Amino acid sequence: MGSDRIDAGRLILRPFTPEDIPWVYEVSLDPALQHFVDLPSPYRMENAAFFVEELAIAGGPDGRRLEFLAEDASTGERLGRVGLGLGTPGTAEIGYWVAPQARKRGVATHAVRTVCRWAFRTHGLELIEWRAEVGNLASRRVAENVGFIVEATLRKRLFHRGVRVDAWVGSLLETDAR
């Protein structure tokens, strides 16, 4: 399916390339990311290659995944990623993370808002869902800043490091994203 390139002012949201594998590997070693994202442990270069080649570039086993790498428009520095898993017609689930050096700069909020607006416009979505492990306040702040309405805490809904954990869930409608 592949992702488009989106010019978003200070950010460029672009498709991943194989050259991004070492960067994904480095970012995925970050303790904060490992705490809230269900990554293989220990995380190896092969895991980063699988993510980039099979999930980000190929779109996953069903080709219904859209992944963007967010980079600084002026320097080309890689800053984070935003991904959408297209679900039943009209729906998608969003996920995102930001490299440690790019945090607290509004990168995630800007990138997520941009990708959501793009997805509503280009894929005819009616609803984008966000889920995060309870306690992931940074992810929740981004979701709320973008306009997601946190609807519930779902008990034992996510699987993380072999353990079921509670999840926050929220939704964004096209009318919320305007």
Cβ atoms of residues 90 and 108 within 8 Å: no
Please identify which residue in the block is written with the tokens 């790019």. 102
Average pLDDT over residues 171-176: 94
What one-letter code names the amino acid at 97?
W
Instruction: Please check the confidence at residue 3 and state whether its pLDDT lies above 70.
Output: no
CATH number, domain of 52, equals 3.40.630.30
pLDDT, tens digit, for every residue of 136-149? Answer: 999 999 999 999 99
Query: Which residues, 6+ apart, have CB-to-CB distance to 149 below 8 Å?
Result: 170, 171, 172, 176
d(CA 94, CA 12): 18
**Domain contains 25:** yes
**Domain contains 41:** yes
d(CA 57, CA 16): 6
pLDDT, tens digit, for every residue of 96-132? Answer: 999 999 999 999 999 999 999 999 999 999 999 999 9
Q: Domain residues for 111?
A: 6-125
**Domain contains 36:** yes
**Domain contains 118:** yes
Instruction: Please check the confidence at residue 1 and state whether its pLDDT lies above 60.
Output: no
**Domain contains 138:** no
**Domain contains 44:** yes
Number of domains the chain contains: 1
Say what the pLDDT of residue 177 is.
Answer: 76
Say what the pLDDT of residue 33 is.
Answer: 93
Instruction: State the pLDDT confidence band at 39, using cuts at 50, 70 and 90.
Output: very high
